[in-house]
């Protein structure tokens, strides 16, 4: 494998709106990020991915972009962005922007021009179809519910949007559109960013010609995934984008890729892949239901283990996965993966180590290093996320009471990860001096950065130790490039694996509150990390306490 600058790095996702507010308007901003760079540098992270801070009406919290070349005034100015890039560089850190090019905002200049002249140049930047009375062009359901077709204002046509109606899909079949996208990518790379996280990219290739699919809910519509399974040829677009942009700058790119076919993995993240890496979503989708969130079930420790190992086996040494516990689109990982009632400092550390030591690039989402948890919702009126609001309606239509519907969707709401970062045990968690745009989780009094920085036994300091271990010259080659071999897979609620390279390391996590005993195949040389003060051993027999995790050098 050709070694790249990003292989040994640790990434950290920032959701700018909720990270830190520097001016008291209740919204996080770029100057706020700059003021916290030393906090992030102290943690040990190298790459900072910023969720969208471009101009946007925020119909989908910034993933509806109205100008790809401007920073939204809510978040600051382009001068602020230039300052952030420069200050990050001083600390040896790299900035990733979010690349959102499956769709734009209906307030983007391109779409406005398409409305005025649907037959003209910009009409061809979108998927437009003639409107027919009582008949839609297709019966596809959008990701946010309802049909993917909306009337094009002032015309007799309709446009396609696989996400929100204010997010019209861009027509990648049009080479003129692709040229505009590449021009923008190169503009940002010239400015000094180091790459992109690439949003919803699998959606850019539609199955042509458009057709209906078998309805899968009572609304008579069909999941967009049925169409995507039939879409072939995305590689032509992605390969062209790589060659025209990323490759020229040795940029780091990580794709949000769903539904990839196994034989396509080398094309996506191999030696000359479309992307440097792609996220592992195996665990996040486990337990989901086509009926909606209300029908989803809790993932078990055994399923979590299986999902991780399946993803690792699928990739092998072809390339690098980007491993996550949570992100801006998921609930908090400690609330999602740990059994109900077992969410403690100790179990949070166990989950961190099991994820962090997997082969691939570790991505930490803001607040994850503190063990931030899901927020308690008392009313649907507290919810901002459009996806949660749609799932709430789906639950009501399925016959759930308002109380049960709220309880069902609250577990998976994207707002869980979007509540303000908990900096200190001060009003509004010291996120803002004003009124926060989204309510602060009331547990900020016990879970916050200020307290954890000064506590050697905190979740944050455990993450700091994990990062330091990954970067330790003695172990880096093994942790970054070594193989991963599962062990004791049949041992229930025990997740263990070897990392083999220059050294042999063994990661063992007891994924339950009851003790478990194992017998090592060979003696260990050193304990590299342990989330428990005790270490019970008799010859090669180890007894792990509830949610204990150990990393051993053999």
The residue annotated as part of the active site, out of 106, 199, 267, 369, is: 199
Query: Which residues pair with residue 96 across a beta bridge?
Result: 49, 195
Reference 365, options 78, 45, 109, 79; nearest CA is: 45
199 among known catalytic residues: yes
| C-alpha 306: how far from chain center | 20
Q: Is 256 a catalytic residue?
A: yes
Identify whether the C-beta of residue 548 lies closer than 8 Å to the C-beta of residue 531: yes
DSSP annotation of 514: S
- 192 Cβ partners below 8 Å, 6+ apart? 82, 85, 86, 89, 95
In the set 256, 267, 330, 415, the catalytic residue is 256
Beta strands at 157-160 and 149-151: parallel, antiparallel or unpaired: antiparallel
Phi, psi torsion values for 376, nearest 5 degrees: -80, 125
Instruction: Tell which residue, 106, 22, 23, 19, has the closest CA to residue 60.
Output: 106
d(CA 329, CA 337): 15
Contact by Cβ (8 Å): 338, 304 = no
Spatial CA neighbour of 167 closest among 54, 18, 16, 62: 62
User: DSSP string spanning 109-151?
Assistant: HHHHHHHH-TTSTTGGGB-EEE-BTTB-S--EEPTTSSBSEEE
Residue partners of 93: CB distance under 8 A and separation at least 6? 37, 40, 41, 45, 46, 47, 48
Alpha-carbon torsion, ordered 105, 106, 107, 108, to 10 deg: 60
Specify the DSSP class assigned to residue 300: P
Q: Please name the residue ranges forming H helices in 398-511.
A: 402-410, 415-418, 449-453, 459-471, 476-481
* Rama region for 62: left / alpha / beta (φ>0; ψ in -120 to 50; rest): left
Name the nearest CA neighbour of 11 among 87, 98, 77, 70. 98
Q: Kindly give, in sequence order, each residue whose CB lies less than 8 Å from that of residue 410, ignoring residues fewer than 6 positions away.
A: 374, 376, 377, 388, 416
The number of residues in the chain equals: 554
Residue-wise DSSP of 167-202: SPBB-TT-HHHHHHHHHHHHHHHHHT--EEEETTGG
Alpha helices, H only, 154-285: 175-191, 224-229, 234-241, 247-249, 265-269, 282-285
Look at the block and give the residue holding tokens 């009409």.
Answer: 123
Residues noted as catalytic: 199, 256
């Amino acid at each position: 494998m050709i070694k790249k600058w990003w292989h040994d790095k640790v990434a950290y996702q920032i959701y700018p709106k909720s990270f830190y507010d520097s001016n008291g308007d209740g919204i996080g901003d770029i100057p706020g990020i700059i003021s916290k760079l030393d906090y992030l540098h102290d943690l040990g992270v190298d790459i900072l991915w910023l969720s969208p801070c471009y101009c946007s009406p925020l119909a989908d919290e910034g993933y509806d972009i109205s100008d790809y070349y401007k920073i939204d005034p809510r978040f600051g100015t382009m001068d602020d962005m230039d300052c952030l890039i420069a200050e990050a560089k001083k600390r040896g850190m790299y900035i990733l922007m979010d690349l959102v090019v499956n769709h734009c905002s209906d307030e983007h200049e391109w779409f406005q021009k398409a409305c005025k002249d649907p037959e003209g140049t910009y009409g061809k930047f979108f998927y437009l179809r003639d409107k027919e009375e009582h008949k839609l062009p297709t019966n596809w359901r959008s990701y946010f519910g309802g049909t993917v077709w909306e009337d094009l204002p002032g015309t007799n046509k309709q446009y396609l949007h696989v996400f929100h109606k204010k997010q019209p899909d861009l027509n990648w079949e049009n080479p003129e559109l692709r040229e505009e996208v590449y021009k923008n990518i190169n503009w940002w790379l010239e400015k000094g960013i180091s790459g992109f996280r690439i949003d919803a990219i699998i959606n850019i290739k539609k199955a042509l010609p458009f057709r209906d699919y078998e309805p899968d809910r009572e609304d008579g519509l069909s999941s967009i995934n049925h169409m995507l399974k039939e879409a072939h040829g995305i590689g032509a677009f992605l390969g062209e984008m790589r060659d025209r942009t990323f490759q020229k700058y040795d940029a780091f790119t990580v794709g949000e890729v769903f539904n990839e076919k196994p034989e396509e993995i080398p094309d996506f993240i191999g030696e000359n892949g479309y992307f440097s890496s792609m996220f592992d979503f195996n665990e996040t989708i486990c337990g989901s239901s086509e009926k909606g969130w209300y029908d989803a079930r809790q993932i078990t420790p055994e399923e979590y283990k299986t999902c991780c190992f399946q993803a690792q086996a699928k990739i092998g040494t072809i390339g690098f996965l980007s491993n996550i516990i949570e992100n801006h689109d998921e609930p908090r990982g400690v609330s999602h993966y740990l059994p109900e009632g077992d969410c403690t400092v100790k179990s949070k550390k166990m989950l961190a180590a099991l994820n962090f030591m997997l082969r691939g690039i570790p991505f930490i989402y803001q607040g994850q290093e503190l063990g931030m948890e899901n927020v308690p919702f008392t009313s649907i009126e507290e919810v901002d996320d459009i996806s949660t609001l749609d799932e709430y309606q789906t639950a009501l239509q399925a016959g759930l009471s308002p109380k049960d519907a709220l309880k069902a969707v609250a577990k998976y709401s994207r707002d869980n990860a979007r509540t303000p970062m908990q900096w200190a045990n001060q009003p509004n968690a010291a996120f803002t001096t004003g009124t926060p745009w989204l309510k602060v989780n009331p547990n900020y009094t016990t879970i916050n950065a200020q307290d954890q920085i000064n506590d050697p036994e905190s979740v944050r300091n455990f993450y700091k130790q994990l990062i330091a271990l990954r970067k330790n010259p003695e172990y880096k080659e093994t942790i970054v490039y070594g193989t991963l071999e599962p062990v004791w897979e049949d041992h229930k609620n025990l997740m263990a694996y070897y990392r083999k390279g220059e050294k042999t390391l063994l990661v063992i996590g007891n994924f339950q509150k009851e003790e478990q005993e194992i017998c090592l195949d060979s003696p260990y040389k050193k304990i590299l990390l342990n989330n428990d003060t005790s270490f019970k051993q008799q010859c090669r027999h180890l007894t792990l306490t509830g949610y204990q995790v150990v990393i051993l050098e053999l």
